[in-house]
Structure 1
């Protein structure tokens, strides 16, 4: 039991003794204020005189009240002092503030595991201006995280609920053990069928298990890192260009993805009718169809069905113009929130 909870129970017991003592003195003929005053001075043993003379019944009651009340008061005050001196109260208040902050998040990303992979994923999500919540069982790791965080075992559904999984847009399972990532994926998918789940796979064989468990994507950081190193070795300029436009915040041009909503202005139009190059000035690199296939050989008569995803290159102004074309007209979903779960599964 935490110090805060023990102190709260001790204070509650002290108040019960005060109420019983006050009621007892009222029965003995004291007024309410006099009874409360007599009770407090008795159980705290401050040594003041009796408010009214006591008969034998009152003396016996006072003896019992001293024996029961003094120990309770001493225990309660000791726990309160311990809580204040050891900083438990400050930690409790900070935790409550964090819980309120997490309670206000919506459409955020939950990062499970704040190791090297989880930290890199969290930093990237934050750099994109998105809300996130970090979950880790190690209090020291959580203390280092400059983001809203929850200390706990993410294989526990209650911890995921505390992280706001019911309101989250995506979850990244970046735990050190593949079995834990599989378990988190199963739990998360059971809690939210529409949640986008990206899981880390330390072993290549674990990728298939994670996908069967419900992950939309299973990523092997070692494999991807090796491929990236190979890309820099064989095609350094291409690899650096892709790296810069994806991650360098100082560059004006970025590559972004946009999902076409049901009632978006561009829905059910052809590429010729939309003409992104003229209307927004951005460059359309590829289209991902509803079936999940990437199409780079684009023709003017390509029809853009709802849930189609466009991969676009442009500067901030151009991408904002594309976002306007892709987004829902009223209260619509922000198209840059990412590909939906159905598109990711293909």
Structure 2
């Protein structure tokens, strides 16, 4: 597999950013030149005997070519100095106007300021999800995350895909460390990688894993053979949408009611119940207690479907009451958001529901 990048391609991807910076640089140069002409004019007229305010006023009216008369009569030296100042000043003013008109009409300044504002927004994000690749899979993942209240940063090399996007985005190669840092990978909770080719997805996965060894990375595998390679590259899980889609269709054919129920629970926003996970931390009060002592259904109202052992261990469906809860274990539960909220509060505090309901808003 050849890495899909080159110096010329990277220059093309950064062209928009460079244009915006060039526009700001030209504006800064133009304004600096105008300020320099004003200072030179003021100093010159002061040397000719003008008071400071009169010298400044004479300089501004001369450079602006407004046609006012001189503040004081000018001798031959003053007239010669004024001629030079007019030539320099008028040229500088015209250059300023040209630079400003070009920056506004071509949109470079507006785009650059928009990017700076977006960079500040991304810098404030915490626990967001980065979606690399905004094709069909990336769009679907972004919509799902957005509908569930998660903040998303999109990364893509194709500007046409990013047009009109309301989510924060970074235009660039997801395999580039600087691009991933610009997307806030140091503060992200997860990364979804769904690029156009398995090679691009593999390199982006490698880069993301090198920057964040603890990050949850979900990579899209376009072929079955690439799933194992993506896991070796650092993906937490490699997903083949075609395989999942085929199995889902077969499930509907064989177990229509079960498949439809799970589909509604996982994807229907109008349904009030969800299958959620609650991971136990080192300091959670329920760690070391048995499931019988905690009594998740009776105490919180949600149903305990399974327990997963720490460090991505095995699942235990319908765990027995004498199962001891360990730090790092994950509880898979079925219930409403309020019921799951009670369980999270109970896990952290160890107090029964009646003692923590007030902190949960009922």
Please state if 1:256 is matched with 2:276. Answer: yes
1:238-289 residue CA offsets vs partner (Å, 9 max, x unmatched): 2111111111111122100110011112211111111111111211111110
Counterpart of 1:123 in structure 2 is 143
Q: 2:91 aligns with which of 44, 55, 71?
A: 71
Q: Hey, what's the Cα distance between the residues in 2 that align with 1:317 and 1:6?
A: 56
Counterpart of 1:111 in structure 2 is 131
CA 1:21 to 1:165, structure 2 compared with 1: closer, same or farther past 3 Å?
farther
- Quick check: 2:224–2:240 contact (8 Å CA) kept in 1? yes
Counterpart of 1:168 in structure 2 is 188
Q: How does 1:99-248 map to 2 (within 5 A)?
A: 99-248=119-268
Q: Hey, what's the Cα distance between the residues in 1 that align with 2:203 and 2:74?
A: 68
Q: 1:311 aligns with which of 332, 350, 356?
A: 332
Give the TM-score, by structure 1 length. Answer: 0.86
Q: Hey, what's the Cα distance between the residues in 2 that align with 1:49 and 1:235?
A: 93
- Quick check: 2:201–2:220 contact (8 Å CA) kept in 1? yes
Give the paired residue count.
329
Counterpart of 1:296 in structure 2 is 317
Q: 1:15 aligns with which of 24, 27, 35?
A: 35
Q: Hey, what's the Cα distance between the residues in 2 that align with 1:91 and 1:201?
A: 34
CA 1:156 to 1:324, structure 2 compared with 1: closer, same or farther past 3 Å?
same
Please state if 1:43 is matched with 2:63. Answer: yes
- Quick check: 2:304–2:318 contact (8 Å CA) kept in 1? no
Counterpart of 1:337 in structure 2 is none
Q: 1:325 aligns with which of 346, 350, 356?
A: 346
CA 1:31 to 1:158, structure 2 compared with 1: closer, same or farther past 3 Å?
farther
Q: Hey, what's the Cα distance between the residues in 2 that align with 1:213 and 1:54?
A: 79
1:176-206 residue CA offsets vs partner (Å, 9 max, x unmatched): 1222222222222222222211112212232
Superposition RMSD in Å: 2.3
Q: Hey, what's the Cα distance between the residues in 1 that align with 2:77 and 2:237?
A: 77
Give the TM-score, by structure 2 length. Answer: 0.83
Please state if 1:95 is matched with 2:104. Answer: no
Q: Hey, what's the Cα distance between the residues in 1 that align with 2:55 and 2:349?
A: 69
Q: Hey, what's the Cα distance between the residues in 1 that align with 2:253 and 2:171?
A: 41
Counterpart of 1:334 in structure 2 is none
Structure 1, gaps ≥5 residues long: 330-346
Please state if 1:52 is matched with 2:72. Answer: yes
1:171 match: secondary structure: strand
Counterpart of 1:268 in structure 2 is 288
Q: Hey, what's the Cα distance between the residues in 2 that align with 1:185 and 1:59?
A: 70
1:304 match: secondary structure: coil
- Quick check: 1:263–1:328 contact (8 Å CA) kept in 2? no
Q: Hey, what's the Cα distance between the residues in 1 that align with 2:199 and 2:37?
A: 52
- Quick check: 1:4–1:89 contact (8 Å CA) kept in 2? yes
Structure 2, gaps ≥5 residues long: 1-18, 351-362
